[in-house]
Amino acid sequence: MPEIKPRVELLAHTPDPLSLIYAAFRQCYHAGEVADMWPSLTCGNIPREKQAEFVAKIMESGHASPIEHVSFTFAISGVSRALTHQLVRHRIASYSQQSQRYVDASNMDYVLPPAIAANPRARERYEAFMKEVGNAYRDIKALLEEDGRGFSSREDARMVLPQAASTNIVVTMNCRTMLNFFEHRCCTRAQWEIRGVARTMLRLCREVLPEVFDHAGARCERLKFCPEGEKFTCGRYPLPEKRG
């Protein structure tokens, strides 16, 4: 039952994402059929800079639905069940998660929170508990197998597994959902683990589509003030009432 670190990989994204967003925006304001424009976009006849300028101008007006036509798919591994419980609350997305019902957790990996890792006594107690969880899982699974449960013994033995248990998940989100995800999960108030994963995802999105994601992140990045209120602000940006 070793400690594990998170890994985030961009598996795929919509081809020609900026051109597709540009085409979708243009269709909203263009009398003709955008399908006739598409060959010019894909062969580079309309410069990327012109597309980016048009997209930025329309998005500044608050019209953002056309960016939903572009999606990103990530493989996220070595994260806790606590993280994925938060992740799946972002409902306009698709998820495929490793099943504890079918995957044997006898040698379960687990996530070690930094605050616990930095405290020797807390770490010792935490790791002892993880070891006991592993023993309990294996014992219960074996007893159920003796009872004839066979493969299905895993679905009941998994009940002892903690939120720290490592899991792997594939996630697909469209651009608009991702902007919302980053606003909430890149904030310093977000839980440390999902915040780290979100910031890695944002970096990968910026490499592909900087025209949409260069100014993405916590809400304060866009607003230039902290919307969390005096009780929860981290102090990076001023509160609305204290702006000069």
**Active site residue ranges:** 185
Q: Which helix (H) or strand (E) holds 173?
A: strand 166-174
Query: Dmax over Cα atoms in the chain, in whole Å?
Result: 72
Q: Are 82 and 110 in contact (CB under 8 A)?
A: no
Cα(136)–Cα(105) distance, integer angstroms: 11
Q: Are 67 and 52 in contact (CB under 8 A)?
A: no
Cα(107)–Cα(109) distance, integer angstroms: 7
Cα R_g (the chain), whole angstroms? 23
Closest by CA to 86, choosing from 219, 191, 187, 12, is: 191
User: To 10 degrees, the CA torsion angle through 37, 42, 46, 50?
Assistant: 110
